[in-house]
């Protein structure tokens, strides 16, 4: 029988966000951050606001000799950084736990195990973990307590991950018995077993984070500290695609979670997807959807969100590949003007010091090229300055696609020959809109009780082909929105084998064949066929086609897009299609042009722009963005005070700015062994420039009233003085 504690946990999993979820957690003081397992070194001093010092024992992927944790923390504090702590909750340098050094008992049986009996490893003696209560006690005693004792007041527990192919270890079987009250069932034997196994995996990492973070806050409070707790996590899009289970949106119900890092980068966004019958990488589009799923997950609950990008990625590629995809993911994150906090990079040691191929077919490797490190630092400093904005991305606003945490429950293994290759049911609902220049939003079913979820939403697209609702009350909120004038587009035949998994719609006196039957009943409809239906003041459009077919087949999305267009135009007027996105955030202009779209025309922007993706920082009167490309520009006409000099952009962070009559000076700091370029606005042409008390060269652009400075960077600072 289920215990009272189990029932409570299940309700939390179903997305019941109590009063604590509505209250905003303390806001972090830092705008930019990064993670490293290393002590401070001149070559990795990237000048973000904060550093997340990784692991009491470091990072399992970094086998170099490291200083003790407290010494690493001190080395960064001495350089002016706010110091935080990051470690993995599903893996890490925890060999003392597994080998029995901690409590005299070996715990290698607590790794995640596949059906063939193989442990899933993250590194040598580093298994992915079934987070038992004993393991959580170890994490609290040996890691969390130590870092708080070191004065750390922000803890980041990253990547709560349980592989879908796992679930066969003795540790998992014990958790199954305790959670469900009946013996373990092999997940590969039925869709129901798979659903139940993944729901348990989901709960285990919910419990893990709740226990560890609650302890962190209580222990911090006992020492007079306000400890903030964050979850760096891949997006729901990526975890579902990569067949990993994680708590995701349910963490919004936790009072002890202060926010998230959206771990989106080239490696996640380059996962191939189908569109128009073609399977290939679509990095910008994928990144846009990943960031969107994270932003929409947290916005209704008021939690803080950092967006991550990575100038390289986990897998070895060449520098040109890294640069192209970094620009794509970087642009995608900036198209969310309601987010202005960023993890500027993970692992600067591998970015600045690692060796990677000089071209795709080359055997030669080298450290980061100077042109790329300069461009990267220009981009990072843009993040230090990036403002929030109330502007919207160009394109039709108000079309959303519904997601649910249960997207992670039915991806592996395949049952009854019903496959969803490359997560195509999700992309079938999103890519046909995104590729037509519609900035489609994502809504989480777990958040439908929050009014903010429905704000400005005109059309909601949903399907139960690849996810299921874990709570019947969700349907009441959806139906209420439709009856109040919303337009619902429902896609799917409801024929996947998970429709009959043991859940609320077919238990406890309910006998609905499918969850959508209950939804339609709430809307006053009885098993509707394809067509258009009235529901109160709103409309329901039913497409009896599996959404994966919208992208698996060439031109398979035409009927789908026609239905969305009809729904939108009935509610909001003409639906514009295009091949680009455009946004202004203060002086920054962000643009992206897509291929495979309604047009192959480039986007031509005219004005006075500094090109921030060009390490020479040229001033342009026109910028052409071709399909498949992105742009980040600084609009010089937006300089607010034309009588005051200012460093507008550059490859170093600016400190100690001083302005007097006819003079302007500042100190520039950035990593050693990198080259600086800075464009400075001046009211008039400079008469003299000195760099570290020596004559410095410059290039003057009279049209923009800016001068371009170049010099070698120094983390201790380079003093620049200008007479004008």
For residue 389, report the phi and psi dihedrals to the nearest 5 degrees.
Answer: -150, 145
User: For 354-359, what is the mean pLDDT?
Assistant: 96
Q: How far is CA 240 from the centre of its chain?
A: 13
The answer to whether the CB of 589 falls within 8 A of the CB of 603 is no
pLDDT given at position 417: 94
Write the pLDDT tens digit of every residue in 301-319: 889 999 999 999 999 999 9
- In a domain, residue 196? The reply is yes
Q: Coil, helix or strand for 519?
A: helix
Output DSSP code: residue 142: I
- Cβ partners under 8 Å of residue 189, min gap 6: none
Residues 471, 536 within the same domain: yes
Q: Is residue 521 part of a domain?
A: yes
Query: What is the Cα 301 distance to its own chain's centre?
Result: 17
281 & 365 share domain: yes
- The structure tokens listed for 162 are 């349980």
pLDDT at 569 over 90: yes
Residues 111-140: what's their mean pLDDT? 95
> Is a pLDDT exceeding 70 seen at residue 20?
no
pLDDT at 5 over 50: no
What is the 3-state composition of the chain as percent helix, strand, coil, each rounded to the nearest 5? Answer: 35, 25, 40
In contact, 622 and 429? CB cutoff 8 Å: no
HSE-CB of 353 using CA atoms within 13 angstroms = 16
Tally of domains in the chain? 5
3-state secondary structure at position 503: coil
Residue 446 has, within 13 A of its CA and on its CB side, a CA count of 30
* Mean pLDDT, the chain, integer: 94
pLDDT of residue 63: 65
The region, left, alpha or beta by phi > 0 then psi within -120 to 50, assigned to residue 82 is beta
Q: pLDDT (tens digit, 9 = 90+) per residue, 611-621?
A: 999 999 999 99
Cα separation, 42 vs 38, whole angstroms? 12
If pLDDT is split at 50, 70 and 90, which confidence band does 29 have? confident
Asked whether residue 19 is assigned to any structural domain, the reply reads no
pLDDT at residue 634, as a whole number = 98
Residue 572 placed within a domain? no
122 and 206 co-located in one domain: yes
Task: Name the CA radius of gyration of the chain, rounded.
Answer: 26
With bands split at pLDDT 50, 70 and 90, how would you rate the model's confidence at 3? very low
For the four alpha carbons of 17, 18, 24 and 25, in that order, the dihedral sign comes to: negative
Element (H, E) at 427: helix 424-434
Do 382 and 403 lie in one domain? The reply is: no
Pairwise CA distance, residues 446 & 237, whole Å: 15
- Examine residue 698 and state whether it is found in any structural domain, yes or no: yes
**Domain end residue (candidates: 387, 410, 425):** 387
| Banded pLDDT at 13 (limits 50, 70, 90) | very low
Other C-beta atoms within 10 Å of 204: how many? 22
pLDDT score recorded for residue 474:
98
| DSSP secondary structure string for all residues of 260-312 | EEE---HHHHTS-EEETTEEE--HHHHHHHHHHHHHHHHGGGT-EEEEE--SS
Angstrom CA distances, 502 to 27, 193, 463, 469, 545, stand at: 40, 9, 19, 12, 24
**Would you say residue 458 lies in a domain?**
yes
Q: How far apart are CA 634 and CA 586, in angstroms?
A: 9
First and final C-alpha spacing in the chain:
81
Q: Does the residue 249 lie in any domain?
A: no
What pLDDT sits at residue 60? 78
Question: How many C-beta atoms lie closer than 10 Å to residue 534's C-beta?
Answer: 13
Q: Which pTM value belongs to this model? A: 0.95
Asked if 473 and 490 sit in the same domain, the reply is yes
pLDDT at 22: 28
Q: Are residues 169 and 32 in the same domain?
A: yes
Domain's final residue, options 387, 408, 428: 387
Domain coverage including residue 657: 646-723
% of the chain at pLDDT higher than 90: 92
Q: What is the mean pLDDT of residues 457-484?
A: 98
Q: Find residue 418's DSSP bridge partners.
A: 415
Query: Among 579, 276, 277, 221, which residue's Cα sits nearest to residue 432?
Result: 276
**464 and 519 part of one domain:** yes
Residue range 10-33: mean pLDDT, rounded = 46
Taking the C-alpha atoms of residue 362 and residue 567, their distance in angstroms, rounded to an integer, is: 52
- Judge if 614 and 481 occupy the same domain: no
314 and 419 assigned to the same domain: no
pLDDT of residue 452: 94
Say whether pLDDT at 124 is over 90: no
CA angle, residues 439, 588, 391, in degrees to nearest 5: 45
Residue 28 has pLDDT above 60, yes or no: no
If you average pLDDT over residues 589-598, what whole number do you get? Answer: 98
Note whether 369 and 468 are same-domain residues. no
- The answer as to whether 23 is a domain residue is no
Domain boundary among 216, 233, 250: 233
Q: 660: which strand partners?
A: 663
> Do 308 and 403 fall within a single domain?
no
Please indicate, yes or no, whether residues 506 and 486 belong to a single structural domain of this protein: yes
Q: Are strands 698-701 and 706-712 parallel, antiparallel or unpaired?
A: antiparallel
How many alpha carbons fall within 13 Å on the CB side of residue 209?
A: 35
């Amino acid at each position: 029988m289920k215990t009272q504690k189990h029932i409570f946990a299940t309700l939390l999993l179903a997305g019941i966000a109590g009063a604590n979820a509505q209250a905003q957690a303390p806001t972090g003081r830092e705008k930019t951050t990064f993670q490293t397992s290393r002590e401070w070194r001149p070559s990795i001093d990237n000048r973000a606001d904060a550093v997340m010092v990784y692991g009491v024992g470091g990072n399992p992927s970094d086998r170099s000799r490291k200083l003790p944790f407290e010494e690493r923390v001190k080395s960064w504090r001495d350089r002016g950084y706010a110091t935080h702590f990051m470690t993995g909750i599903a893996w890490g340098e925890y060999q003392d736990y597994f080998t029995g050094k901690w409590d005299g008992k070996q715990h290698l049986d607590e790794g995640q195990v596949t059906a063939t009996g193989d442990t899933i490893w993250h590194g040598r003696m580093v298994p992915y973990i079934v987070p038992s209560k004993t393991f959580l006690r170890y994490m609290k005693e040996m890691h969390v307590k130590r870092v708080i004792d070191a004065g750390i007041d922000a803890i980041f527990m990253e990547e709560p991950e349980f592989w879908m192919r796992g679930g066969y270890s003795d540790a998992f079987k014990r958790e199954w018995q305790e959670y469900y009250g009946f013996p373990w069932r092999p997940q590969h034997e039925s869709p129901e077993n798979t659903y139940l196994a993944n729901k348990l995996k989901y709960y285990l990492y919910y419990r893990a984070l709740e226990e560890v973070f609650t302890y962190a806050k209580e222990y911090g409070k006992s020492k007079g500290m306000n400890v903030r707790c964050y979850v760096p996590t891949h997006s729901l899009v990526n975890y579902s695609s990569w067949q990993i289970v994680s708590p995701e949106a349910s963490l919004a119900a936790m009072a002890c979670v202060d926010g998230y890092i959206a771990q989106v980068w080239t490696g996640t966004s380059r996962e191939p997807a189908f569109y128009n019958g073609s399977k290939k990488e679509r990095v910008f589009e994928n990144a846009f959807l990943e960031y969107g799923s994270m932003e929409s997950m947290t916005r209704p609950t008021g939690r803080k969100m950092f967006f991550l990008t990575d100038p390289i990625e986990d897998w070895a590629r060449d520098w040109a590949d890294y640069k192209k995809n970094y620009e794509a993911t970087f642009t995608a994150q900036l198209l969310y003007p309601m987010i202005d906090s960023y993890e500027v990079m993970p692992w600067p040691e591998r970015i600045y010091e690692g060796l990677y191929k000089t071209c795709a077919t080359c055997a030669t490797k080298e450290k980061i090229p100077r042109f790329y490190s300069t461009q990267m630092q220009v981009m990072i400093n843009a993040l230090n300055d990036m403002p929030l904005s109330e502007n919207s991305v160009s394109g039709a606003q108000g079309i959303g696609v519904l997601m649910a945490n249960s997207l992670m429950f039915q991806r592996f293994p395949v049952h009854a020959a019903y496959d969803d290759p490359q997560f195509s049911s999700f992309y079938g609902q999103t890519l046909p809109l995104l590729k037509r220049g519609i900035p489609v939003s994502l809504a989480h079913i777990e958040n439908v009780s929050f009014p903010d979820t429905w704000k400005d939403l005109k059309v909601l697209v949903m399907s139960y082909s690849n996810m299921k609702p874990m709570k019947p009350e969700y349907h009441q909120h959806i139906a209420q929105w439709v009856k109040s004038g919303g337009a619902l587009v429902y896609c799917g035949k409801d024929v996947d084998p998970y429709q009959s998994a043991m859940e609320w719609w077919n238990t406890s006196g309910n006998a609905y064949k499918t969850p959508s039957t209950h939804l339609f009943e709430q809307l006053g409809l009885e098993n509707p066929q394809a067509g258009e239906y009235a529901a109160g003041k709103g409309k329901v459009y039913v497409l009896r086609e599996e959404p994966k077919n919208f992208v698996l087949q060439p031109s398979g999305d035409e009927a789908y897009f026609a239905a969305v267009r009809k729904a939108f135009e009935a509610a909001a007027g003409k639906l514009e299609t295009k091949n680009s996105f455009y946004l202004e955030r203060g002086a920054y202009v962000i643009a992206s042009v897509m291929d495979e779209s309604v047009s192959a025309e480039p986007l031509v922007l005219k004005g006075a722009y500094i090109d921030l993706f060009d390490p020479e920082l040229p001033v342009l009167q026109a910028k052409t963005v071709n399909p498949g490309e992105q742009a980040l520009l600084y609009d010089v006409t937006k300089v607010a005070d034309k009588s005051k000099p200012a460093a507008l952009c550059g490859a170093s962070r600016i400190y100690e700015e001083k302005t007097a009559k006819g003079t302007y000076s500042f100190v520039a700091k950035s990593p050693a062994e990198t080259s600086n370029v800075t464009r400075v606005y001046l009211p008039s042409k400079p008469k003299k420039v000195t760099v570290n008390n020596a004559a410095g060269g410059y290039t003057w652009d009279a049209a923009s009233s800016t001068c371009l400075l170049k010099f070698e960077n120094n983390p201790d600072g380079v003093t620049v003085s200008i007479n004008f």
